[in-house]
């Protein structure tokens, strides 16, 4: 958990239904994610999802990150 300094890329995602907030920081080495950190405010599931997402993102290329879509996540949850 925590933050990364610029030039890390930052994104914040909110769930208006329950008020959860997830903020991610990613530092790239060329086209590959070198380090990811996050902060979450919400339920235990949101915090766990943020942690899992940082693990999944580390080492991925920008192209691989672009493949993470809601339909892909929904399919993974169904399996």
CATH number at residue 62: 3.90.1010.10
Instruction: Tell me the average pLDDT of the chain.
Output: 89
| pLDDT exceeds cutoff 90 at 60 | yes
Instruction: Return the closest-CA partner of residue 41 out of 55, 70, 21.
Output: 21
Residue 44 lies in a domain: yes
Report the predicted TM-score, pTM, of the whole model to 2 decimal places: 0.79
Domain count, the chain: 1
CA quadruple 60, 36, 22, 76: dihedral sign: positive
Number of Cβ within 10 Å of residue 8's Cβ equals: 16
Residue 4 lies in a domain: no
**Per the structure block, which two tokens stand in for 38?**
């996050």
- Provide the pLDDT for residue 69: 80
| pLDDT exceeds cutoff 60 at 79 | no
**C-alpha to C-alpha distance for 7 and 77, rounded to whole angstroms:** 33
């Amino acid at each position: 958990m925590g933050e990364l300094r610029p030039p890390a890329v930052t994104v914040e995602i909110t769930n208006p239904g329950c008020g959860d907030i997830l903020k991610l920081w990613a530092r790239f080495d060329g086209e590959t994610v070198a380090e990811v950190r996050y902060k979450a405010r919400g339920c235990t599931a949101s915090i766990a999802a943020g942690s899992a997402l940082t693990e999944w993102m580390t080492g991925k290329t920008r192209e691989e990150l672009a493949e993470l879509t809601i339909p892909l996540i929904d399919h993974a949850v169904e399996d």
